[in-house]
Amino acid sequence: MWKRNFLFKAADATPLEQSENELFHDAEPAMDSAGMQLEKFISVWVQGEGQDEAPTMFTNVYVRTATLDTANKTGFLQPLQGRTHQIKQMLTPGQKTYLKNWLMKASPKAWDEAEDNFRDLFEQE
């Protein structure tokens, strides 16, 4: 299975260089938010057929929100959402455009082989 993570600050159209795992892996779950300097993030996981950097077909998208105090390495990571209406609501138009362009460029064959409901996730409403 091929998979790739894109981690965006909530309002940004370009993802961070770090993945969710790199940024949140060592973060402790917060008990409460008192005194924390929280930033909002959107984490997008794209899955497909293929190996490593060579997807042959894109199949699934999962999105979750997170809030993290990067200075204190603590935060809140929400469960993954995989329903179409949730994904469309969570992603900004800029994030949808970035992801669509990246996926089409990274593997035109995998994009063409993806089902319509996958490609529709990245269309503007």
Q: Is residue 57 part of a domain?
A: yes
Q: Is residue 20 part of a domain?
A: yes
More confident residue, 114 or 29: 114
Alpha helices in 1-125 (DSSP H): 20-24, 84-90, 93-106, 108-113, 116-120
More confident residue, 82 or 102: 102
Q: Is residue 125 part of a domain?
A: no
Q: What is the structure's pLDDT at 24?
A: 76
Q: Is residue 114 part of a domain?
A: yes
Q: How far is CA 99 from CA 14, 79, 86, in A?
A: 9, 21, 16
Q: In what order do the strands lie in the sheet with 2-9?
A: 2-9, 39-51, 54-69, 74-77, 28-29
- The values of phi and psi at residue 21, to 5°, are -60, -40
Domain that holds residue 56: 2-120
Place of tokens 């994030």: 95
- Percent of the chain at pLDDT exceeding 90: 57
pLDDT tens profile 2-39: 999 999 999 999 999 988 888 777 666 666 667 778 88
Mean pLDDT of 63-83: 82
Domain total in the chain: 1
